[in-house]
Amino acid sequence: MKNFWQKIEKPFFVLAPMYDVTDEAFRAMFVKYSKKSKQGSWPLVLFTEFVSADGLVSKAGQLKLLRELYFTEEEHPIVAQIFGARPENIEKATKLIKELGFDGVDINMGCPDKTIEKQGAGAGLIKKPELAKEIILAAKRGAGLMPVSIKTRLGYNKINLPWLKTILETKPAAMTVHLRTRKEMSLSVAHWEIFPEIVQMAKSAGVIIIGNGDVVEVSKGLVKSRESGADGIMIGRGAFGRPWLFSKTKTKLAPRECLEIMKEQTEKFWELYGPTTTNQKLFGGHQKNFAIMKKHFKAYASGFPGSSDLRVRLMSASNPKEVKKILEKEKISQ
């Protein structure tokens, strides 16, 4: 298996892995409106939402969690993100991911969620660098030639460059750094001023380096990449409600176009994760709560006259038919 991280055109962009967000319905919109845009697209890597390695290797959890790892051929290159604190399960989960045909596996070492940290995973690993190294090496054993990457933060309570050096010692294929500490969550300004130093550390180790934090536009990402020397830029919150974001010419769509894409994503979500024959066939009836779509409604229905009232009505919808009915009553001229 080729290391796509080395071959992808640079600078590239990454759609951030976000829990209950970057499912296949969401990613499919980026395939259609960014990757397959007639205007061309910036090089783009897609990630799944993160999945528990412990759950993936258990009989009880595997079938349900495989739902989160469903992807289509059009999504390549695509990386599966996992979390966990048991090297043996990380190795087994990585083997499974390789068998599923992913282009890479990413280990989450930055999630600040307390339930994840209680397991010793996510940002909790920043406080256990030796265990973090064991986990990366275990993933490499399971991955074979499939590249292993890491997503982490600058540190736990304070900026901790030795932590990043520890990760780089294991020679992951790529490393994404969310330029805040765990303590800062997403509340402070991202520390792009120190990223050039981190970039040099990574490049000296032969590791692809990706920056993340406060970038919501491709244009800003290109500037950050040029200023820091980063190979890639990861965008998360800025991608909500904007699946055309990585298209080379589309910067903004008219409200009506946005709402049509929203409806399309809603229908795709329902087909995959609702009470449908597709869901039964693919995932054995393991559905997702339709309420997950509400965060997308909020993003799509924004910034035009009457959008706040529309959002209120959309929040009451419980299926695509109700969404369609609400939109049909809207009088949006543009």
Query: Is omega for the bond preceding 11 within 30 degrees of 0, making it cis?
Result: yes
DSSP state of 293: G
Tens of pLDDT, residues 140-172: 999 999 999 999 999 999 999 999 999 999 999
Dihedral (Cα; 127, 107, 182, 174), 10-degree rounding:
100
Angstrom distance (rounded) from CA 59 to CA 48: 21
Angle ∠(110,228,9) on CA atoms, nearest 5: 85
For residue 231, what pLDDT is reported?
98
Q: Residue for token digits 């991911």?
A: 97
Angstrom distance (rounded) from CA 15 to CA 236: 6
Angstrom distance (rounded) from CA 57 to CA 94: 10
Mean pLDDT for 10-17 is 98
Domains and CATH numbers, the chain: 4-239 (3.20.20.70), 255-328 (no CATH)
Tens of pLDDT, residues 229-285: 999 999 999 999 999 999 997 677 889 999 999 999 999 999 999 999 999 999 999
Tens of pLDDT, residues 316-327: 999 999 999 999
> Which residues have a catalytic role annotated?
111
Give the chain's largest Cα–Cα span.
Answer: 59
pLDDT band at 333 (very low <50, low <70, confident <90, very high): very low
Instruction: Decide if pLDDT at 61 tops 90.
Output: no
Angstrom distance (rounded) from CA 308 to CA 162: 46
Task: Compute the half-sphere exposure of residue 24: CA atoms within 13 Å on the CB side of its CA.
Answer: 20
- SS3 track for 202-215: HHHCCCEEEEECCC
For residue 249, what pLDDT is reported?
79
Bigger pLDDT: 195 or 254?
Answer: 195
Give pTM, 2 decimals.
0.95
Tens of pLDDT, residues 40-49: 899 999 999 9
pLDDT band at 332 (very low <50, low <70, confident <90, very high): low
Tens of pLDDT, residues 64-116: 899 999 999 999 999 999 999 999 999 999 999 999 999 999 999 999 999 99
Q: Residue for token digits 């692809």?
A: 208
Angstrom distance (rounded) from CA 323 to CA 197: 48
For residue 331, what pLDDT is reported?
63
